[in-house]
Chains A and B, each alone.
Chain A
Amino acid sequence: MNENYHVIRIQQYLNGKLSREEMYQLEREALDDPLLQDALDGYGMQDEVSHRRLSLLQQRLAARIAVQAKERNAFYFGWQRLGVAATACVLMVLVLVLLWIRRHPETSRATEKEVHVELASPGSRVAIHAAAVEGDGLDALPEGGWEKFNAYLASAGSGTGATGKVTLAFDIDAQGKPTSIRETGNVDDRLSGAARRLLVGGPLWSGTRGVVAITFE
């Protein structure tokens, strides 16, 4: 049914331009069609059909529909973009995995090399620790305590490869540095040299005199 035709008829009806038969026809239709009846009543109240208002309404409707169309497009592009981004991510991961697989043998070789170096010089990882020798007038205490001193030895002492024990006696000067270092007991030149270097390069001391036994294992 053409509803524009309705509007024109309503207008003609209200303006009294319809014939008696046509008026009857519209009234009869309106009785069976409550929407038409109410519309007829409504237009009857304003005595005219404003085509300007109706076309403005059509424009509003078109604008309202266009909003969704825009939203749809934005949404659509949004999904499209998301899709592209997701594909790019997947491709990147794939490429990274491929690169990793390609490089993997090299990295494992490098690890082997490292292990090899370790095996080549087992002596380089000599455990060194020191212990205070107790005695009269021996009051030396390394700054931070013996644990810290031992930790320093462990990190600084990349020993000579030889093992053994060196006992060093020393005085402590006003600045806390060990001075007049001398070996007591068995003397191994290589070990005592290393032990002296460790003692001189190590932390400051408190007290006046000390004897320390440094063990290279």
Chain B
Amino acid sequence: MQSEQQLVQEYRKTGNLQLLGRLYEPYMPLVYGLCFKYYKDEAKSEDAVMQIFESLITKLRIHEVSNFKSWLYSLARNHCLMDLRIGNRISVVDIDEHLVESDLFLHQHDSGERIPEERLVLMESCLGELNAEQQTCVRLFYLEQKCYREVAEITGYDLNKVKSHIQNGKRNLKICMEKKQG
């Protein structure tokens, strides 16, 4: 069983679609879900999944890809956004930014429980700077490990609101910590 990175390298060398198919197939259901989020149409989403594969064929040979999944996400999302011509309203994902982000998370997972104390202090102070909704949701989700539904039940917020509070809170937390650290 070849690793994903090996498959990427092998495909870049040979251009063999079977290799690319093996790379892409596991992600197809996720890409389909992503496309449906933007198109809200089953047939269009299916076509988009295939179109994304087509653009993979050429782009994966041109670009140096170190994290296939992150790169695929950017490619797929940008494809949908471009196609819907709403790229102006929703900013296109920058691949590098996203890679940095996922690397950061990998790093966090690696270091596991041994998070330095000053980072915890930093996080606590940044958490205090978030707005009330975000702070509540982030605390419940990350520190008390409640799922979205539980958070929604506890806070009384709508489930989608909970999700966006957590997503935005997490992003703001990261920005705040980077600012204070740097």
Q: A residues within 8 Å of B by Cβ?
A: 1-4, 6-7, 10, 20-21, 23-24, 27-28, 31-43, 45-46, 49-50, 53-54, 56-58, 60-62, 64-65, 68-69
Contacts and interface: CB of A to CB of B under 8 A. Distances in A.
Given A46-B36, A57-B46, A35 B28 contact: no
B127 interface: no
14 contacts: A20-B147, A24-B141, A33-B69, A34-B93, A37-B167, A42-B34, A45-B36, A49-B29, A53-B46, A60-B50, A61-B25, A61-B53, A65-B21, A69-B18
Given A27-B148, A32-B102, A41 B33 contact: yes
Nearest to A19: B147
Nearest to A54: B29
Interface stretch (B70-78, B111-119, B128-136): B70-78
A26 to B, nearest CB: 8
Contact of A43 (B16, B24, B36, B149): B36
B28 A38 contact: no
B49 interface: yes
A39 B53 contact: no
Given A36-B30, A43-B33, A23 B149 contact: yes
Interface of A is mostly: helix
Contact of A38 (B37, B141, B148): B37
A35 B102 contact: no
Contacts of B18: 65, 69
Given A31-B166, A35-B27, A39-B34, A62 B105 contact: no
Interface in B7-34: 16-18, 20-21, 24-34
Contacts of B98: 34
* Interface size class, chain B: 35 or more
Interface of B is mostly: helix
Interface in B46-62: 46, 49-50, 53
A24 B17 contact: no
B161 interface: no
B56 to A, nearest CB: 11
Contacts of A65: 17-18, 20-21
A4 B32 CA distance: 13
A35 B76 contact: yes
A3 B26 contact: yes
B178 to A, nearest CB: 17
B24 A35 contact: no
B139 interface: no
